[in-house]
Amino acid sequence: MFGSIVKTGKKKVIFVLAVVILIIGSCAKDEHKEYRQDASATLAELEKLSAKLEVGITYMEYKDRLGDINYYVSTFLDKYDNYNSLESQVTVYEAIQDIMRLYLDSAELWKWQIQSIRTYDDSGWEDLRETANEHLENGWGIIALQIKLARRILEEDNEERRQRFIVEFTDAQNLWTEQVRDFRHEIDDYLELRRTKRDRPPIKVIEP
């Protein structure tokens, strides 16, 4: 009889553990589903601004819209700050961060371009403004690409294809980083050239 009670007790423990595992698994599944939905909605907000850029908007419109998007992105990032159930989802989390950072970088570059018009008016500075405009257009193209890749990373179940999308996303991010770095160097070089010319002593003309 005692043995029967022990066996019955073990069965109850096993049953309880099974129920607990099922509940935990169900909760994790629901959390994962909610994460995917929120990530998709956040990417949709990022995509809306990208679509507006293709049509054409002013700097002030861009700045206002960027403020709205920053709210959606910050809400998502804060909500899932400690979410790391799946590596692929963490990658999407980081991708959203990178896309938002690129949007903010573009805002700074656009602001510089506008302010520089009131600062200098010479051919060298005009060339830099043209270069800035090219970088802006390239940056917005990279953003559009990254949003598509982030969505593919989010939705792709095939690990090999998902890793390929991650590599493509990283390559695009690195390209933008290099462009911004090189452009900042161009500005620094130009300012140094202007300073050198300004500080150079006037040439003395020796009369015969």
Structural domain total, the chain: 1
Q: Is residue 5 part of a domain?
A: no
Most distant CA pair in the chain, distance = 129
Q: Is residue 14 part of a domain?
A: no
Q: Is residue 160 part of a domain?
A: yes
Q: Is residue 1 part of a domain?
A: no
Which amino acid appears at position 87 of this protein? E
Query: How far is it, in rounded angstroms, from Cα 152 to Cα 56?
Result: 26
Query: How far is it, in rounded angstroms, from Cα 148 to Cα 169?
Result: 9
A 10 A CB-CB count for 21 gives 10
User: pLDDT (tens digit, 0 to 9) for every residue of the chain, 208 residues total?
Assistant: 545 555 555 555 443 333 333 333 333 445 578 888 999 999 999 999 999 998 899 999 999 999 999 999 999 999 888 765 555 555 888 899 999 999 998 998 888 888 776 666 666 777 788 888 888 888 899 999 999 999 998 888 888 888 898 899 989 888 888 888 888 888 777 777 767 765 444 434 344 4
Q: Is residue 20 part of a domain?
A: no
A 10 A CB-CB count for 173 gives 19
Q: Could you tell me the pTM of the whole model?
A: 0.73
Q: Which domain holds residue 114?
A: 31-199
Q: Is residue 191 part of a domain?
A: yes
Distances (CA, A) of 66 to 14, 16, 55, 139, 143: 53, 50, 16, 15, 13
Q: Residue 90's closest CA among 79, 103, 80?
A: 80
Q: Is residue 7 part of a domain?
A: no
Q: Is residue 6 part of a domain?
A: no
